[in-house]
Amino acid sequence: MRRIIPCILSCLLGVTLQLSAQQDILKFDKTVHDFGQVLLGSGPISCSFTATNVSSTSQSIQSVSTSCGCTAVKWDHKEIAPGGKTVITATYTNDEGAYPFDKTLTVTLTSGRRPVVLHLRGVCRKEFKPDEEVYTFSLGGGLGLMEGSLKAVNVEQGSSKGEQVTVANMSSKPLKLGFADVSEGLSLELVPNPVPAHSHATLYYTIAAREGLWGKNWYYATPVVDGKKNAEGRISVSAFTSISFSNMTREEKAGAARPVFAESTLSFGHKKAGSVIKGNFVCENKGAATLKVYKVDCDTPGLKCGTFPELAPGAKASFPITFDTSSLPKGEALIILSLTTNSPLRPIVTLFLAGWID
């Protein structure tokens, strides 16, 4: 159990940090390059990202750090005038093995603004598979995705964030893709559209954070191919929405709310399957402003949370939970709660229930 929790905390911290990424200084033509299928042993593969200075002052890139030594990067150190462009080129060695990869480039500006994270993605294989074996989620008519649940998006309230995936046309004719019954806040665009026969296209999807919608939420759309709705199901994308602190000064952040929990993990020991667990997380607001928790998320069924009260500076309160273990298999159990708060120091607080189901 002790080994599991640090790993999960590390992943959640990465999500939290990426919530702050923004492109209000440099606007990139894309933040993801998908190589699709790559043959192992075929040698290094390269791509480029073009950035435009959309600010009113000259900018320059201070550094571009990579997630591992398998990715090399080049960029121009010269200043970029307002409206000017620059190109970042990345090369992946493609010698790590036959499995999916997602390599990141973290772009930092000399102005000290928050970094932008770029991705190099793909699937390395010992031998190429036909599209029919790769793009197994049918959109209808011969169009397919690798999976119907698209990569999650992290977005700040009042802004939008997007991702992209590849769509394959496995038919012998061009196909036009549209969408019906699209959830509010979700927008989709396919390029090119129609998709040429036996070819690929890029599906761009964007989540615009809706006012009053916090934490994790799901968005859906029904594919429509050449005017016919897909009968095999919708595509879905999850998004995690947090408050934006980008306009707060350092002094305002220092004087904001600061939640401190007595314990972040509630251990329930050994329990029989079907047992109901009750407990409390105790929180104190050690900040100088009122603490608000906008939403509590948990993907494990059977968990019920009490109301998290607003806490004045210096105030302390218990946060009650009740958990029915009926849905859990026997063995080690770890349940994760994510709290979306108004604290710039802890915009997402992660709590755990841990134990063993007999």
Q: What is the mean pLDDT of residues 60-86?
A: 94
CB 305 within 8 Å of CB 279: no
Residue 164's DSSP bridge partners are: 204
Whether omega before 192 lies within 30 degrees of 0, making that bond cis, reads yes
What pLDDT shows up at residue 24? 63
Q: Does the pLDDT value for residue 15 go beyond 50?
A: no
Q: Where does 131-279 have alpha helices with state H?
A: 131-134, 250-254
CB 317 within 8 Å of CB 309: yes
Long-range contacts, stretch 92-96, CB < 8 angstroms, 24+ apart: 92/35, 92/44, 92/45, 92/46, 92/120, 93/44, 94/38, 94/40, 94/42, 94/43, 94/44, 94/45, 94/124, 95/40, 95/41, 95/70, 96/70, 96/124
87-96 pLDDT, tens digit each: 999 999 999 9
Residue whose structure tokens are 């769509």: 167
257-311 pLDDT, tens digit each: 999 999 999 999 999 999 999 999 999 999 999 999 999 999 899 999 888 999 9
**Separation CA 237–CA 149 (nearest Å):** 6
What pLDDT shows up at residue 110? 86
DSSP 176: -
**Separation CA 307–CA 296 (nearest Å):** 9
Q: Where does 219-299 have alpha helices with state H?
A: 250-254
CB 319 within 8 Å of CB 280: yes
Q: Does the pLDDT value for residue 223 go beyond 70?
A: yes
CB 140 within 8 Å of CB 168: no
Tokens of 180: 């019906």
114-136 pLDDT, tens digit each: 789 999 999 999 998 999 999 99
